[in-house]
Amino acid sequence: MTESNTVWYVDAEAIENIAVGAGILGTGGGGNPYVGKLMVRRCLDEGAVIPVVSLDAVTDDATAVSVGGMGAPTVSVEKIQRGDEPIVALRALEQYAGRRADYLVPWEIGGTNSTRPLVQSAYSGLPVVDADSMGRAFPELQMCTFSIYGVPCTPAAIADVRHDVALFPKTATTKLLEKYARAVTIEMGGSTGFAFPLMSGAELKRTAIPGTLTLAKEIGRVVREARQTLTDPVAALLSVSGGEVLFRGKITSVHRTMTRGFAKGEIELEGMEDDRGDNLLIEFQNENLVARRGETVIASVPDLISIVDTNTAEPVTTEVLRYGLRVAVVGIPAPQLLRTTRALEVVGPRAFGFNFDYEPLAGEYGAGRIAQTSLS
């Protein structure tokens, strides 16, 4: 990272940009950041100051906790949160662990969980670290760099709108925590706020993906500018994300099934422009997992496969997929931390039940942003 010891503050413009960028990094899932954006805006209206500090500014002996929301997006757009659930979970966690948090860190930059830590910062006064544990969105908790690189996921806490708290002092694996916490989340009404893992600054710096809030903000900024100046928002998106257009086409069929709480399915696209005559098949499990052109896999997890509207670069989530939409399928190379042998065991294609190996997309995650930052 070229940034060091930098702090920036979330303002009204930044939150608009983050919401757009986080939607694109959500790769079809992660929930719509709209409600989260309004929550942040309301905090700003009331005078909240939300500092975002760069990962390398965190000292080794500091304590950082990841916070966010858990549950079904369908529930969270209907049952608007009380707002402070993750902080209530955090306070219970601190009490149990006997340590106070110095920093909040996003769990998942893709989708609605990009904005929750910002709201919690407003409630608690704690700064937010410019990093996360996915660089995108994933369907399950263990698919995060904290767990992959050995940060224990427990103790962990979740809280609901009544401020009831469930504490998990210890689970053997993050996958088990996922299972238990989700079961409790359902009993708590389908959406909760969470706080875990609690870790040292050294652990955070070793495992987190740096600069992802800035990346979401920059993607949003260039896309929104392109929309306003009537230039190509998809090209703008590519310029900062390090991604490429894998396919342009229209959606010709969407097939959805429901398995173990996941929206699984397939999207078929018919090529347009340069891709005319070709077909693309995308398989998703909440998030888009694999893209096949004919028989050939052209992109797969952990690389990001994002479907966006060709005219606006508005992300097309798995919930709004519809016949006839004209879209660009954008592939963004996964962060290096998701591309190691160790990571691929958890987030590679085989971890999702596919019987092929990961072939990385060329390029670098957020390449354009890094170039831009060093220019400025």
Partner 1 sequence: MRIGIDVGGTNTDGVLMQGREVLAWAKKATSADVTSGIKDVLQSLLGTNVQPKDIGAVMIGTTHFTNAVIQRRDLVPTGVVRLCLPAGEAVPPLYDWPRDLQAVVGNHRHLAHGGHEFDGREISPLDADELARIADKLTDAGVNALAIVGVFAPVTPEHEQRASEIFRARNPQVEIALSHEIGRLSLLERENATALNASLAPLARRTMRGFRNALAEMDIQAELYVTQNDGTLMSADFAEQYPVLTFSSGPTNSMRGAAFLTGLSDAMVIDIGGTTTDVGVLSGGFPREASFAVDIGGVRTNFRMPDLISIGLGGGSLVREEGHRIGPDSVGYQIRERSLAFGGDELTATDIAVASGWVELGDPERVANLPEETRSQAQTTIHDLIAQAVDQLRTSPDPVPVIVVGGGSILVHGDLDGASEVHKPEHFLVANAIGAAIAQVSGEVDQIFSLETMSRQAAIGAARDQAHARTIQAGALPDTIEVVELEEIPLPYLPSSAIRIRVKMVGQL
Q: Which of residues 203-242 bind partner 1 (CB under 8 A)?
A: none
Q: What are phi and psi of 266, to 5 degrees?
A: -135, 145
Q: Which of 206, 107, 208, 103 has the alpha carbon at shortest distance from 158?
A: 107
DSSP 3-state of 370 = helix
Rg (CA), the chain: 19
Rounded-to-integer distance, Cα 104 and Cα 121, Å: 7
Among the residue ranges 8-16, 33-41, 52-60, 220-228, the one whose residues contact partner 1 (CB under 8 A): 33-41
Name the residue nearer to partner 1 (CB basis): 182 or 206: 182
Spatial contact of 108 and 133, defined as CB atoms under 8 Å apart: yes
Spatial contact of 114 and 33, defined as CB atoms under 8 Å apart: yes
Name the residue nearer to partner 1 (CB basis): 102 or 266: 266
- How far is CA 32 from each of CA 109, 175, 199, rounded to the nearest angstrom? 12, 25, 28
Among 6, 97, 163, 268, binds partner 1 (CB under 8 A): 163
Interaction of residue 74 with partner 1, rule CB under 8 A: yes
- Give the contact letters, 299-328, x = binds to partner 1 (CB under 8 A), - = no: ------------x--x-x-xxxxx-xxx--
Tokens 């709108």 belong to: 161
Total H helices, total E strands in the chain: 12, 16
Interaction of residue 79 with partner 1, rule CB under 8 A: yes
Interaction of residue 42 with partner 1, rule CB under 8 A: yes
Please name the amino acid found at residue 191: S
Name the residue nearer to partner 1 (CB basis): 175 or 250: 250
- Smallest gap, in angstroms, from Cβ of residue 279 to partner 1? 13
Interaction of residue 162 with partner 1, rule CB under 8 A: yes
For residue 169 the two structure tokens come to 């002092």
Interaction of residue 180 with partner 1, rule CB under 8 A: no
Interaction of residue 256 with partner 1, rule CB under 8 A: yes
Spatial contact of 135 and 161, defined as CB atoms under 8 Å apart: no
Among the residue ranges 11-19, 204-212, 257-265, 362-370, the one whose residues contact partner 1 (CB under 8 A): 257-265
What residues make contact with partner 1 under the rule CB under 8 A?
29, 35, 38-39, 41-42, 71-75, 77-83, 119, 139, 161-163, 182-183, 186, 189-190, 250, 256-258, 260-263, 270, 272-273, 276, 286, 311, 314, 316, 318-322, 324-326
